[in-house]
Structure 1
Amino acid sequence: MLAIHSSTSSRSLRITREGPDHFQIALSDIPVSATSVVWTETGDLASLVGFFATLAEQQRPWQGALTWASLERDFKLAVTCSALGTIIFSVDLRGGQGAPEEWQITAGIESELGQLARFAEDAAALLLD
């Protein structure tokens, strides 16, 4: 499991591999929480692991956002870093695309530049689950 806990609040993002072709995304906070199953296409999970590896390579703050999205775009991440090394994960999670009761939740999770290597290690372990 990959868990990203906010350094400033109770918010967290958890990514758990549920099977060979899907993983569960849980975004938790008070008062709103969302959980969704994201079905993967060939290479989706490996590309997510690669995204976290790219983040871990960052030794200094960078300009702009580094982004990743699942093939169906029901789970998206955009990661920015301030000049002081504060990382913001912008998480976009959607469900029921095209249905009358489609839903979407977007939340930011604050972390630190020094945590990126651990996140990459945890992401790599998802491939082994």
Structure 2
Amino acid sequence: MRNGYVFQLDELDNTRRIDGTLTDEAKTPRSRAAQRNAGKPDRLPTDDGGHFIANRFNGPSDAFNHFAQDASANRGAYRVLEQEWADALAQRKTVKVTIIPNYPEGSRRPSQLKIFYSIDGVRHQRTIDNSYKPKAKDQ
């Protein structure tokens, strides 16, 4: 457990599951090194160093809370989801999350995140694709 969140790791030190109740009390500084190194050696040039639990929710700065995240997913669907959580917390609602990354065999970079969360007991589920999507000019 770190910062109130339970992280389960596998034999490759990949984070396999995260459980916890979000807080809006950020106490942990960012780790730029952990963000830069997230997912190596499988990190792609188009990736960001994403957080499973963002700093604004008091996510830990440890490497196991970081992953190679497709930049468009990080700045799109994941950001929208995190804002939904932040808005709920601002309304004094309880937000509980379970995040399950799926990794291709032997990879340090998840291809997908299954996210189960509840806001004041109302359950939701999202799947965020983290696979590489070449841009038209890359093809």
TM-score, normalization: structure 1?
Answer: 0.32
Name which structure has the greater RCO, CA cutoff 8 Å, separation 6+.
1
Between structures 1 and 2, the one with greater strand share: 1
TM-score, normalization: structure 2?
Answer: 0.31
